[in-house]
Structure 1
Amino acid sequence: MASPRMIGNIIAIAAIAVAIAAIAVVWRPAIATIDPPAPQSFDSALVKRGRDLAAIGNCSSCHTLRGEKDFAGGVAVPTPFGTVYSSNITPDPETGIGRWSEAAFRRAMQSGIDRDGRHLYPTFPYDHFTNVSDQDNRALYAYLMTRQPAHAPARENQLSFPFNQRVLVAGWKLLFLRHGTYQVDPEQSAEWNHGAYLVEGLAHCGSCHTPRNALGAEKARVPFAGADVDNWHAYAINNQSPAPVPWNAEALFEYLRRGWHSEHGVARGPMAEVVRNLSEVPASDVRAIATYMADMFGAPTAERKRRGDELLAQAGSRSPQAPPANGNAAGASLYAATCAPCHAAGRAPPYGGIDLALSTALSAPDARNAANIVLSGIRPEQGEASPIMPGFADSMSDDQIAALLNYLRAQFSHRPPWTDVTGTVRDARRTQTVSLPNPPADTTQRDKP
């Protein structure tokens, strides 16, 4: 029988082992600083590819604050645990990454650890970036290190205890961070595999379109099943998609390339910035993404395809004087006055409004996206033939917009009525300023290799 002293020694050894293991999990060494490399030291072709990759990763949306310098950080990222502010990723030597080596940058991307050895919060989606190749990280590094430096000290995160303790991030990584999850599928085409690499890696589509668990990690069992983000609903982009007409690879390519599609509608909210960036990258990258995502949507059932074909056959034949749906005379009147002149005029986008029976927003699980669109409208893209729609935040009350939305849901979708639409509109009005996407970054700086 073990003596009390022996038991005490065993407990002490076990405690030391646990402490050593905890330190091994939490502690990471700092990586030495370097002198900021000269921009001309980077190969121009590498910088150009890095520009495209930064656009695919939508880096400017999270790292460029409205009205401030490109990539200077400070963008608020709300989470259930508080607000995290994005960092300065310009080559400023004091407040940015100017003294980071390529190895330090690669570690941040693949392991979520900064140059000083601190664990980064997973609002920076390194759970996807761990799939990015060393070659592409090199190109991204070259691009960022040739941007205009911006002196912009980091803003303090607004996280309550214990979520402000970065040691918890190490535990989160043990539970949820997996390296090397992207694997080439030899049964698929090169284009499909390239799309999978981009979607599951740098493009990090699942960060918005996959629901999350109580600890903020993506629910791996239901990828692309839809989630709420930045006061919008990111639709399911799998076989649960609410789109009235099934998506295919060609429609996805056109939508991602120009921001709208006549059978599906216009990109709004956070997605508007995504497609704005994708419009600047090689078409081959966008087509690969579309090919992979079309496979994630899956082939539609015969019934769903039949219904979609019916809607397309009827498109453009809507009456501007549709009868009141469910006795909603107020909604019918508002539709005839404000929606029908564009949406029932028989003109295809971008010169007319989408046939509302094709609108994903009106077939969505809740009214949030439709409310945002009615409130803020759709702004035109400078120098392009793009869809445009006025916002009605100043000319309609919450009750009027709710009546209109209830009418549109009943008249143009085959889904059950939404609940508490007035409350949804009221909430959307409070947050519509937050919902609007950042303006395009300064392309005079961004597009120069």
Structure 2
Amino acid sequence: MTKSGIIAGAIAALLIGGGAAAFAIAWRPAISAIDPPPPQSFDPALVKRGRELAAIGNCSDCHTVRGGKDFAGGLPVPTPFGTVYSSNITPDADTGIGRWPEAAFRRAMRSGVNRDGQHLYPTFPYDHFTNVTDEDDQALYAYLMTREPVHAPARDNQLRFPLDQRFVIAGWKLLFLHRGTYRPDSSQSAKWNRGAYLVEGLAHCGSCHTPRNALGAERPDARFAGGDADNWDAYAINSQSPAPVPWDAQALSIYLRQGWQSDHGTARGPMAEVVSNLSQVKESDVHAIATYMADVFGVPSPERKRQGDEVLAQAKSPSPVALVDVSGAAIYAAACASCHESNRPLPYGGVNLALSTPISGPDPRNAANIVLSGVRAVEGERSPIMPGFASSMTDDQIVALLNYLRSRFSNQPAWTGVEKTVADARRTQTVFLQTSPGPQSAPADPAQRDKP
């Protein structure tokens, strides 16, 4: 054989070997379909437990399009690489998971592979769900398989090549999917360990609150250092938190349970959905999450504690009116002061804005979203309410208001790019309203939904 023939043969062998290796890495077998199990075949106690776990995982909000049927999928999830649509996880036999055996469900949770053997995009946070126990996966499966079946075919994802090819995700998993990484810490309390298990697993808090690298994976060197979620700033929830008053376990527990806390304000944006779901779970689990996260925040330094005490003291006495921006001050006096300076406690009065994280946060995005859309009352609950000003204020007026709020109620430097932030926030809100069929339908009574 000639030298060129030997080289060509070696290259062909390498290509064949590389292709075989890539196939072995990417290929996953299909799992045989089953007949949808009857709802009454599941233990009601297991279903009830699954409902609470699904609430902790915020499953309904990711798998339910606004105005659509529960868990029927179709929710667009924007990413830097395109848009991924959530899947139908109702027990519909044709378009949902009705023909999935429990083993297929567990594989999807642990490895991000569906029943047919296709790799799932990591917008489904299986990099966290891989930490969920077999027992909890079983309860989640029982809960989902007893929901109302909904015929809702999957929408085509809008991803650019080559990311529209699912086998590419196998390479992402080799780099970033670390299975079974959660280990209980014997030096910590049972409550702390329960909170760690939930936060690092089903609750997947890091998915929003941790920045991501160029390939869309969470950065392990910046855990809980802040991220993005649906055009909202997901604040740092560690020692870098921009909250004017440091968080502790008690404040976190109240906030996560009822959606507002007197020293920190009200949950808005995606976080409002999270706390709405957490209001349905056992208080002990919420306390456990708060205990673990308080440890992640860490004990505030003496200087940080002193600053927080000063903010609290100032919040209890009238603050002087700053005239840095006369137009902003006038808008605040006309539209905001009657609630935010009423001295009525939450939720009946507005939060003292000196305690507001959106005003002290690193950018004005969340504050702009709140001014535009307001805070809607929760039906049947004692909850904060605030009108939105999208239709009654121009962009220039909202910019002036935000600059005034920052200068008066925060000791942080002035924001930059406020004009662009407000324009982007209004455009995003307009697109959302135009593409949404209407308000989310009220969920059925949980007690009734859990009946097999």
User: Normalising to structure 1: TM-score of the pair?
Assistant: 0.95
Correspondence for 1:382: 379
- Could you tell me how far apart the structure 1 residues matched to 2:147 and 2:322 are? 57
Gaps spanning 5+ residues in structure 2: where?
Answer: none
Residues 316 and 347 of structure 1 are in contact (CA less than 8 Å); yes or no, is this contact kept in structure 2?
A: no
Gaps spanning 5+ residues in structure 1: where?
Answer: none
- Give the 3 Å change call, closer, same or farther, for CA 80–441 of structure 1 in structure 2: farther
* AA of the residue aligned to 1:337: A
- Give the 3 Å change call, closer, same or farther, for CA 279–179 of structure 1 in structure 2: same
Correspondence for 1:323: 322
Say which SS state the counterpart of residue 449 (structure 2) adopts.
coil
What does the per-residue CA deviation read over 1:156-203, in whole Å, with 9 as the maximum and x for residues that have no partner? 111121110112101111111111111111111111111111111111
- Give the 3 Å change call, closer, same or farther, for CA 67–435 of structure 1 in structure 2: closer
Say which SS state the counterpart of residue 336 (structure 2) adopts.
helix
Correspondence for 1:405: 402
Correspondence for 2:445: 444
Aligned pairs for 1:222-371 (under 5 A) are 222-319=222-319, 322-324=321-323, 326=324, 328-371=325-368
Are 2:216 and 1:216 equivalent residues in the alignment?
yes
* AA of the residue aligned to 1:345: S
- Give the 3 Å change call, closer, same or farther, for CA 316–439 of structure 1 in structure 2: farther
Count of aligned positions: 445
What does the per-residue CA deviation read over 1:278-312, in whole Å, with 9 as the maximum and x for residues that have no partner? 00000111111111111111111111101111111
Residues 68 and 440 of structure 2 are in contact (CA less than 8 Å); yes or no, is this contact kept in structure 1?
A: no
- Could you tell me how far apart the structure 2 residues matched to 1:435 and 1:314 are? 38
Which shifted more, 250-259 or 310-319? 310-319
What does the per-residue CA deviation read over 1:10-31, in whole Å, with 9 as the maximum and x for residues that have no partner? 5554444322221111000000
Deviation of 1:345 after TM superposition, in Å, equals 1.5
- Could you tell me how far apart the structure 2 residues matched to 1:397 and 1:352 are? 25
Correspondence for 2:27: 27
Correspondence for 2:415: 418
Residues 90 and 148 of structure 2 are in contact (CA less than 8 Å); yes or no, is this contact kept in structure 1?
A: yes
Residues 95 and 153 of structure 1 are in contact (CA less than 8 Å); yes or no, is this contact kept in structure 2?
A: yes
- Give the 3 Å change call, closer, same or farther, for CA 35–201 of structure 1 in structure 2: same
Aligned pairs for 1:156-167 (under 5 A) are 156-167=156-167
What does the per-residue CA deviation read over 1:361-410, in whole Å, with 9 as the maximum and x for residues that have no partner? 00111100000111111111111211111111111111111101101100
Correspondence for 1:75: 75
* AA of the residue aligned to 1:422: E
- Could you tell me how far apart the structure 2 residues matched to 1:55 and 1:68 are? 18
- Give the 3 Å change call, closer, same or farther, for CA 377–446 of structure 1 in structure 2: farther
Deviation of 1:9 after TM superposition, in Å, equals 5.5
- Could you tell me how far apart the structure 1 residues matched to 2:50 and 2:314 are? 45
Residues 104 and 114 of structure 1 are in contact (CA less than 8 Å); yes or no, is this contact kept in structure 2?
A: yes
Residues 119 and 170 of structure 2 are in contact (CA less than 8 Å); yes or no, is this contact kept in structure 1?
A: yes
Say which SS state the counterpart of residue 84 (structure 1) adopts.
strand
Say which SS state the counterpart of residue 310 (structure 2) adopts.
helix
What does the per-residue CA deviation read over 1:402-436, in whole Å, with 9 as the maximum and x for residues that have no partner? 10110110011111000121221111111125679
- Give the 3 Å change call, closer, same or farther, for CA 434–282 of structure 1 in structure 2: farther
Say which SS state the counterpart of residue 222 (structure 2) adopts.
coil
What does the per-residue CA deviation read over 1:46-92, in whole Å, with 9 as the maximum and x for residues that have no partner? 00000000000000111011111100000000111111111100000
Residues 68 and 441 of structure 2 are in contact (CA less than 8 Å); yes or no, is this contact kept in structure 1?
A: no
Which shifted more, 145-154 or 220-229? 220-229
Deviation of 1:447 after TM superposition, in Å, equals 5.7
- Could you tell me how far apart the structure 2 residues matched to 1:80 and 1:349 are? 37
Residues 232 and 435 of structure 1 are in contact (CA less than 8 Å); yes or no, is this contact kept in structure 2?
A: no
Correspondence for 1:151: 151
Q: Which of 386, 390, 394 lines up with 2:391 in the alignment?
A: 394
Correspondence for 2:197: 197
- Could you tell me how far apart the structure 2 residues matched to 1:426 and 1:448 are? 42
Are 2:424 and 1:427 equivalent residues in the alignment?
yes
- Could you tell me how far apart the structure 1 residues matched to 2:290 and 2:166 are? 37
Say which SS state the counterpart of residue 327 (structure 2) adopts.
helix
Which shifted more, 30-39 or 437-446? 437-446
- Give the 3 Å change call, closer, same or farther, for CA 447–277 of structure 1 in structure 2: farther
* AA of the residue aligned to 1:200: E
- Give the 3 Å change call, closer, same or farther, for CA 299–440 of structure 1 in structure 2: farther
* AA of the residue aligned to 1:336: A
Aligned pairs for 1:5-24 (under 5 A) are 11-24=11-24
- Provide the identity percentage: 69
